[in-house]
Amino acid sequence: GFGYSDPGNVGARYVCWGTTDAAEIEAGIHDFFDDADKSVVFYGPFVAPGDANLDRMVNLQDLIILANNWQQSPRAWAEGNFNCDEVVNLQDLIFLANEWGWEAAAGGGDVPEPVSLSLLALGACLALLRRRRA
């Protein structure tokens, strides 16, 4: 993965959460550059909409950042603009509120899906049953 970066290291003009060309961006930051159609999508469980300071948590610190930039423009991700409309407003507050209390998994590792865990448990049960019959 790309790892974690301080918001001051993000050099693009706009960093936002959302969609591009009607294709949803899952769990990442889409970094829009000023150059024609060049863009980069960073995937990973390291950030969520509302995590203004990129500390891998959505909490009071992020709300304070958003409040300090309320109704101001132009603003970037690190200033509370999570949807790339350049204004910190109700839409950004909704992003933050929807993720309130979010915290990245320790070490940034992937969390197994419940279905995967169920399949592993089913496999273990079948192995035990087969062992008993033998």
Residue 12's φ and ψ, nearest 5 degrees, are: -75, 160
Say what the pLDDT of residue 113 is. 56
pLDDT digits (tens, 9 = 90+) for 19-72: 444 444 444 444 444 444 444 444 445 678 889 988 889 999 999 999 999 999
Domains in the chain: ranges and CATH: 7-133 (1.10.1330.10)
Percentage of the residues of the chain whose pLDDT score is greater than 70? 53
- What's the pLDDT at 64? 95
Confidence (pLDDT) at 65: 96
* Residue-level pLDDT at 80: 92
Q: How many CA atoms lie within 13 A of 79 on its CB side?
A: 17
Backbone dihedral angles phi then psi of residue 114, each to the nearest 5 degrees: -60, -35
**pLDDT band at residue 10 using 50, 70 and 90 as cut-offs:** very low
Average pLDDT, the chain: 70
pTM given for the model: 0.53
